[in-house]
């Protein structure tokens, strides 16, 4: 009986994957002999993804990167290649090359693409930020530039993007000044928070089939529930207002950048947050998961008594996020922000104190405990608590 139920669930997942087959939502049938994350996740209708560093993907001296990017993942995100500074380094001249390469790679390997990112305050081209700073770009022109950017980019990739991160990290953190949560950064400062609704509308107009996401960090679980200091609550309220106004937002991306030095969450707290977003009619996704650790002197010296607890804590945190995603049927994908410590943004960004060890494979492409935790979650879950995804249809 149990066995039959598992097989039935597998059949539903396969059928779901098949129905979704289109350029933006490519798929592959479940193969019972294949133990890769992407294949194991198919039974749940879940996509497992990674951010891709195009330089590593194209490095002939590093073939394992390309092999694993293809074999372990069913969705890919450009780590940097679709950001504004990469796409339009010179005003009016788009450089589509690397981003197109990734889309082609995805197509060759039956992968879907998460588009990242249309509107963000970081990695903007200098001509744009300088133009605003020196007054040569007016507010009205800035709004027009943003509209044209979104339209150009979404149109260029039309039909090839499954989920777009339309707006990224628009909300402040409790450690900012003022500490009361607010809309922060370049776009809010120059255009006011109305740019968020505009961005979703412009994106929808350019590609009616892509799912449109708001993406942010530190929104894995609720805290105090006071929007003045609980970022998850703030984003929830924002999404609710956007939906109430008919803004075409389809999902919330929870980045999932965690660290083993923090308290973090249990699975049920994370499930609760995903359910609340689902209650607004929104899909969810984990979009940039990694779990960094402090590289103490002991860790750097190879002291196992310091390394092992970090590897285990990292695995536990990956595990919590994936279990929560599996448990909520509107959680469509689970993407890691790089899959190997050989190519991770963490050591370059978190230097004081130094941090690293944040991904699921070590620097030699050996799977870490975190990889095994994800694999176990995918294997040993199923009905009644884990059921196949409910596909999200773009809101009109």
Among all residues, which ones are annotated catalytic? 169, 288
Of 60 and 348, CB closest to ligand XIL: 348
Least CB distance to ligand XIL at residue 187 (A)? 14
In the complex, least distance from residue 80 CB atom to ligand XIL, rounded to whole angstroms: 5
CB 39 within 8 A of CB 3: no
**Binding positions for ligand XIL, rule: CB under 6 A:** 79-80, 168, 255, 288, 345
> What is the C-alpha to C-alpha distance for residues 179 and 116, in angstroms, rounded to an integer?
28
Q: How far is CA 8 from CA 43, 383, 387, in A?
A: 10, 10, 11
The DSSP symbol for 351 reads B
Nearest distance in Å: CB 239, ligand XIL: 18
243, two tokens: 């939906």
Least CB distance to ligand XIL at residue 34 (A): 29
Instruction: Give the Cα-Cα-Cα angle 90, 95, 101 (nearest 5 degrees).
Output: 160
**For residues 285 and 327, which CB has a smaller minimum distance to ligand XIL in the complex?**
285
Query: Alpha-carbon distance 335 to 346, whole Å?
Result: 16
Q: Is the peptide bond before 384 cis (omega within 30 degrees of 0)?
A: yes
Task: Say how far apart CA 36 and CA 377 lie, in whole Å.
Answer: 12
Among residues 121 and 143, whose Cβ is nearest to ligand XIL?
121
**Closest separation between CB of residue 90 and ligand XIL, Å?**
20
Give the nearest distance from C-beta 79 to ligand XIL in angstroms. 5
Residue (46 or 346) nearer to ligand XIL, CB: 346
Helices (H) and strands (E) in the chain, counts: 16, 10
CB 289 to ligand XIL: min, Å:
11
Alpha helices in the chain (DSSP H): 2-19, 37-42, 54-57, 63-71, 84-87, 97-108, 126-133, 139-156, 185-191, 195-206, 231-244, 267-279, 297-300, 304-327, 346-349, 369-379
Query: What is the separation of C-alpha 367 from the centre of its chain, rounded to a whole number of angstroms?
Result: 21
- Which string of b and e fits 101-117 if b means at least 16 CB within 10 Å? bbbebbeebebbbbbbb
Token pair of 192 as six digits: 């006011």
Buried/exposed 322-338: b ≥16 CB within 10 Å, e otherwise: bbbbbbbbbbbbbbbbb
Three-state DSSP at 117 gives strand
C-beta of 45 vs 234, nearer to ligand XIL: 234
Of the two residues 288 and 341, which places its CB atom closer to ligand XIL in the complex?
A: 288
């Amino acid at each position: 009986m149990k066995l039959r139920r598992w097989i039935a669930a597998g059949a539903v997942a396969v059928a779901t994957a098949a129905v979704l087959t289109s350029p933006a939502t490519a798929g592959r049938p479940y193969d019972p002999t294949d133990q890769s994350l992407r294949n194991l996740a198919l039974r749940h209708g879940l996509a497992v993804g990674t951010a891709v560093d195009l330089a590593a993907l194209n490095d002939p001296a590093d073939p394992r990167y390309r092999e694993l990017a293809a074999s372990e993942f069913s969705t890919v995100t450009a780590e940097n290649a679709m950001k504004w500074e990469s796409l339009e380094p010179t005003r009016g001249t788009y450089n589509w090359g690397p981003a197109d390469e990734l889309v082609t790679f995805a197509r060759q390997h039956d992968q879907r693409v998460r588009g990242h990112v249309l509107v963000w305050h970081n990695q903007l081209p200098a001509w744009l930020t300088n133009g605003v700073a020196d007054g040569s770009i007016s507010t009205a022109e800035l709004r027009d530039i943003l509209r044209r950017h979104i339209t150009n980019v979404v149109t260029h990739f039309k039909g090839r993007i499954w989920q777009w991160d339309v707006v990224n990290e628009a909300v402040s953190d409790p450690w900012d000044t003022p500490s009361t949560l607010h809309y922060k950064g370049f776009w809010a400062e120059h255009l006011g928070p109305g740019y968020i609704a505009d961005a979703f509308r412009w994106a929808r107009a350019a590609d009616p089939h892509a799912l449109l996401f708001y993406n942010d960090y530190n929104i894995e679980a609720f805290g105090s529930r006071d929007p003045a200091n609980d970022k998850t609550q703030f984003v929830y309220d924002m999404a609710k207002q956007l939906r109430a106004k008919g803004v075409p937002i389809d999902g919330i991306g929870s980045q999932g950048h965690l660290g083993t030095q923090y308290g973090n969450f249990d699975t049920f707290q994370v499930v609760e947050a995903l359910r609340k977003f689902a209650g607004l009619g929104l899909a969810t996704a984990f979009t940039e998961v990694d779990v960094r650790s402090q590289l103490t002197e002991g860790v750097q010296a190879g002291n196992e008594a310091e390394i092992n607890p970090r590897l285990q804590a990292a695995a536990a945190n990956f595990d919590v996020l994936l279990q929560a995603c599996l448990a909520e049927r509107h959680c469509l994908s689970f993407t890691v922000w790089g899959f190997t410590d050989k190519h991770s943004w963490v050591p370059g960004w978190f230097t004081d104190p130094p941090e690293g060890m944040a991904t699921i494979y070590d620097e030699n492409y050996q799977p870490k405990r975190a990889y095994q935790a994800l694999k176990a979650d995918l294997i040993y879950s199923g009905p009644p608590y884990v059921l196949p995804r409910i596909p999200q249809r773009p809101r009109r």
